Amino acid sequence: MITALYGLLIAIHPFALPGPDRWTMSVVAAASAILSAATALLWQRHRRPEHAHAVNAWLASIVLTNTVLHFILFPQ
């Protein structure tokens, strides 16, 4: 689900955001999509309930990094 969201943001950022940093956010969204998809694939192959909190924290850190970077580059 997160991968699909970031996949959509790759296409939306260049058109919806102003300035040259829109391309930066598009690249960050692409990297986030790749990291989220890789995490999901690894979780499906090696599902360990004792690591569920760590995986959720990793996915949350991807979202948090994107949000913080977005607010830094686009404070308006």
Contacts of 46 by beta carbon, 8 Å cutoff, 6+ apart: none
Least confident window among 1-5, 8-12, 42-46, 64-68: 1-5
> For residue 64, is pLDDT > 90?
yes
pLDDT tens digits along 17-60: 898 899 999 999 899 989 999 998 998 898 888 889 999 999 99
For residues 23 and 46, what is the distance between their CA atoms, to the nearest angstrom?
34
Q: How confident is the model at residue 6 (pLDDT cuts 50, 70, 90)?
A: confident
Model-wide pTM > 0.85: no
Contacts of 26 by beta carbon, 8 Å cutoff, 6+ apart: 9, 10, 13, 14
CA distances from 71 to 41, 50, 51, 68 (A): 30, 34, 30, 5
Looking at residue 20, the DSSP 8-state letter turns out to be: T
